[in-house]
């Protein structure tokens, strides 16, 4: 009988599993990204997701805020940015939970550079 070793889950400096902590980086968009970026000391995987969360969602928040000041067309664009944010939020949380280092174009490379 062959003994099968269970795959060990990697723990972070905060004591959570890496995939759970990476998912939490996206939970409240850039706010939790910033919290985990500042608190996590050990896991480059978590720091990457935290930085990607900060860059992605803080940028989208600022852009949406700026467009919301423009009557009519700005409100439509702001609404579309909100929809894009929702889709990205769901995708990024799923990918982080699956343990995947899913990099968004341009933003992912920047996040990787600043999270190392």
Pick left, alpha or beta for residue 76 (phi over 0 → left; psi -120 to 50 → alpha; otherwise beta). alpha
Q: Domain boundaries in the chain?
A: 18-111
Q: What is the pTM of this model?
A: 0.89
- Look at the block and give the residue holding tokens 């896991």: 43
pLDDT tens digit sequence for 16-65: 999 999 999 999 999 999 999 999 999 999 999 999 999 999 999 999 99
Percentage of residues of the chain with pLDDT beyond 90: 90
Pick left, alpha or beta for residue 2 (phi over 0 → left; psi -120 to 50 → alpha; otherwise beta). beta
């Amino acid at each position: 009988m062959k003994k099968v070793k269970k795959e060990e889950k990697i723990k972070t400096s905060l004591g959570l599993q890496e995939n759970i902590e990476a998912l939490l980086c996206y939970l409240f968009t850039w706010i939790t990204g910033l919290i985990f970026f500042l608190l996590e000391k050990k896991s480059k995987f978590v720091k990457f997701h935290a930085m990607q969360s900060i860059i992605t969602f803080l940028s989208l928040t600022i852009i949406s805020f700026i467009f919301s000041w423009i009557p009519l067309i700005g409100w439509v664009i702001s609404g579309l940015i909100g929809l894009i944010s929702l889709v990205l939020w769901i995708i990024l949380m799923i990918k982080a939970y699956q343990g995947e280092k899913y990099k968004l174009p341009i933003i992912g490379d920047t996040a990787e550079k600043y999270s190392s």
